[in-house]
């Protein structure tokens, strides 16, 4: 197996942490990006190649992170833009954030963090990715970013809009860069802090399936929106 150089944002907990653990176990070179490296004890215990500080909502932090990574490795094969928030993280109640209720500032802030953060991280790492082997950028979206499913689950317009923006950024990246595969991912409804205990998938089940799908992606897949199991998700 070829060892891949992989960056995972938001790898302190949830899906990102589980993906990091599995990929490290498979022998890959994993760099975990977290807001608070000192507090990332579970990630530390998994033995990553590095733990780097990154706040995806802070442009200076993104610049520092990209610089630090460029000083650490000369290429990257996979970037998993996994970190993300819901309106709960911005102090709202996400069940009561439909278009008639939400503070417009919440929509802007959530889109800035969930969509523009990953876009700027990808931009900052583009040279490392261009130097990678069969490079892939996996942008974590959600079924709620789909026009089809989002319309059926109209609770949190800030989250749905931010993930729809992730999808658009993914297809635009795919159409303007033909060297890297850009793929949007619905990771499933997963039992994390965000997904809650009511969710359908256990974290290891989702993370394992996402990794299997991720490892089979090639440039031919660029511009797709996939589910955790690699099947096409409707836009």
Ligand X SMILES: NC(=O)c1ccc[n+]([C@@H]2O[C@H](COP(=O)([O-])OP(=O)(O)OC[C@H]3O[C@@H](n4cnc5c(N)ncnc54)[C@H](OP(=O)(O)O)[C@@H]3O)[C@@H](O)[C@H]2O)c1
Maximum distance among all Cα pairs of the chain, rounded to whole angstroms: 52
3-state SS, residue 34: strand
Give me the least distance between CB of 133 and ligand X, in Å please. Answer: 25
Q: Where are the alpha helices (DSSP H) in 4-92?
A: 14-25, 41-46, 59-70
Place of tokens 């990553």: 48
Part of the chain binding ligand X (CB under 6 A), chosen from 34-42, 101-109, 167-175, 211-219: 34-42
Contacting ligand X (CB under 6 A), which of 14, 48, 132, 150? 14
Q: For ligand X, which is the closer residue by CB, 153 or 172?
A: 153
Q: Give the span between the Cα atoms of 169 and 81, in whole angstroms.
A: 12
φ, ψ for residue 10, nearest 5 deg = 65, 45
Part of the chain binding ligand X (CB under 6 A), chosen from 5-13, 64-72, 168-176, 213-221: 5-13
Q: Give the span between the Cα atoms of 180 and 49, in whole angstroms.
A: 23
The CA angle 234-20-118, to the nearest 5 degrees, is 50
Contacting ligand X (CB under 6 A), which of 76, 80, 157, 194? 194
Part of the chain binding ligand X (CB under 6 A), chosen from 13-21, 45-53, 127-135, 211-219: 13-21
Q: For ligand X, which is the closer residue by CB, 182 or 189?
A: 189
Show the binding pattern over residues 37-76: x = contacts ligand X (CB under 6 A), - = does not.
-----------------xxxx-------------------
Q: Does 210 bind ligand X (CB under 6 A)?
A: no
């Amino acid at each position: 197996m070829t060892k891949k150089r992989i960056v995972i944002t938001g790898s302190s907990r949830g899906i990102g942490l589980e993906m990091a653990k599995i990929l490290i176990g498979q022998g890959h070179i994993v760099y975990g990006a977290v807001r608070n490296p000192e507090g990332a004890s579970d990630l530390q215990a998994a033995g990553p190649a590095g733990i780097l500080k990154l706040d995806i909502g802070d442009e200076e932090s993104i610049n520092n992170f990209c610089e630090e990574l460029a000083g650490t490795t000369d290429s990257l094969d996979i970037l998993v833009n996994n970190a993300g928030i819901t309106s709960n993280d911005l102090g709202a109640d996400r069940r009561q954030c439909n278009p008639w209720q939400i503070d417009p500032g919440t929509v802007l802030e959530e889109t800035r963090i969930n969509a523009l953060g990953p876009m700027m991280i990808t931009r900052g790492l583009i040279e490392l990715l261009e130097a990678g082997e069969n490079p892939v950028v996996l942008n974590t979206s959600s079924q709620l970013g789909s026009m089809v499913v989002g319309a059926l689950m109209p609770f949190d317009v800030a989250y749905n809009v931010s993930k729809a923006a992730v999808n658009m950024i993914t297809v635009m990246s795919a159409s303007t860069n033909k060297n890297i595969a850009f793929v949007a991912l619905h990771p499933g409804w997963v039992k994390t802090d965000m997904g809650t205990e009511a969710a359908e998938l256990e974290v290891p089940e989702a993370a394992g399936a996402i990794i299997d799908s991720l490892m089979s992606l090639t440039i031919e897949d660029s511009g797709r929106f996939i589910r955790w199991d690699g099947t096409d998700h409707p836009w």
